[in-house]
C-alpha cells in the first residue's frame, strides 16, 4: 500500500492535484474538508457544531477529525493507496496518524508540500468564492485560515522533513506542471 499526504495552504491546489493522482495511480482520495462539508450540509446537530469552526476558518476539534480518518483507513486498508488532503493539519494530528497507522502496519510513504505565494493564494480563494458557495472563501475568513495555516499547520512540514518523507514543490505554476512534479515524486518514492 502507498499512502500519501497532499499538503499546503488553503488555495494551493491540494484538491485539484489529488484528483490528478487518482487518475494516474488509482489511489483513494480523502478530503477532511469535503467530509466536514457533507456533514454540515446534512443539517444535523453535529453539522451545526462543525460549521461554527469552518465558517470562521478555525480547525475543528482533533478528535472529530481523527475518528473520521480512523474509520476511513480501516475501511480501506486493503486498497492500493490513500491520498490524504487537508489532513494532518497540526502536529498532534500528524503524530496520531503515525500512531494509528503503526498499529495497522500502515505508513505514510510520502508527503508532498505545495508552496504558493500568499498573494496568489488569496486571489485563487476569492476567485473560487464566486462559485464555490463555501462560507469560508471570502477575504476575512481567508485571512484567518492563513493565520491558522502558519501557526498550526505549517509546523507539520518539519515533522515530515525529519522523518525524510517530505518533498517540497512549487505550486506557482500551471496545474499540469505541478501534477508532473508530484508524479515524479510518487514514482521515485515507489521505487525507493
Q: Per CB under 6 A, does 10 bind ligand ADP?
A: yes
Question: CA-to-CA distance for 133 and 54, rounded, in angstroms?
Answer: 13
Q: Which of residues 74-133 bind ligand ADP (CB under 6 A)?
A: 86-87, 89, 93
Return the residue matching grid coordinates 508552496.
115
| Nearer of residues 123 and 190 to ligand ADP, judged by Cβ | 123
Residue 32 engages ligand ADP in binding (rule: CB under 6 A) = yes
At 1 the three-state DSSP class reads: coil
Give the E-state strand segments of the chain in sequence order: 2-7, 28-31, 81-85, 108-115, 166-170
CA–CA separation, 113 and 21 (whole Å): 14
Contacting ligand ADP (CB under 6 A), which of 4, 36, 96, 182? 36
Q: Is the peptide bond before 88 cis (omega within 30 degrees of 0)?
A: yes
Q: Which residues pair with 64 in a beta bridge?
A: none
Near ligand ADP by CB under 6 A, which window of 20-28, 39-47, 53-61, 174-182? 53-61
Rounded least distance, CB 138 to ligand ADP, Å: 12
Cell numbers 480563494 label which residue?
A: 125
Choose between 150 and 184: whose C-beta lies nearer to ligand ADP: 150
Question: Which residues lie near ligand ADP (CB under 6 A)?
Answer: 10-11, 32-33, 36, 53-54, 57-60, 65, 86-87, 89, 93, 136, 145
Amino acid at each position: 500500500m502507498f499512502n500519501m499526504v497532499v499538503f499546503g495552504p488553503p488555495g494551493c491546489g491540494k484538491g485539484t492535484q489529488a484528483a490528478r493522482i487518482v487518475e494516474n495511480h488509482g489511489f483513494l482520495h480523502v478530503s477532511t474538508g469535503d467530509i466536514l462539508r457533507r456533514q454540515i450540509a446534512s443539517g444535523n446537530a453535529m453539522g451545526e457544531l462543525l460549521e461554527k469552526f469552518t465558517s470562521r476558518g478555525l480547525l475543528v476539534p482533533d478528535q472529530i477529525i481523527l475518528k473520521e480518518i480512523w474509520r476511513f483507513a480501516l475501511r480501506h486498508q486493503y486498497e492500493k493507496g490513500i491520498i490524504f488532503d487537508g489532513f494532518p493539519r497540526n502536529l498532534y494530528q500528524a503524530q496520531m496518524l503515525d500512531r494509528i497507522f503503526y498499529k495497522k502496519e500502515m505508513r505514510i510513504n510520502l508527503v508532498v508540500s505545495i508552496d504558493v505565494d500568499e498573494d496568489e493564494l488569496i486571489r485563487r480563494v476569492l476567485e473560487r468564492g464566486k462559485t464555490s458557495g463555501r462560507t469560508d472563501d471570502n477575504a476575512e475568513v481567508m485571512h484567518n485560515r492563513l493565520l491558522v495555516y502558519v501557526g498550526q499547520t505549517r509546523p507539520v512540514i518539519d515533522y515530515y522533513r525529519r522523518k525524510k518523507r517530505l518533498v517540497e514543490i512549487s505550486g506557482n505554476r500551471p496545474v499540469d506542471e505541478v501534477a508532473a512534479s508530484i508524479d515524479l515524486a510518487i514514482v521515485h518514492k515507489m521505487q525507493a
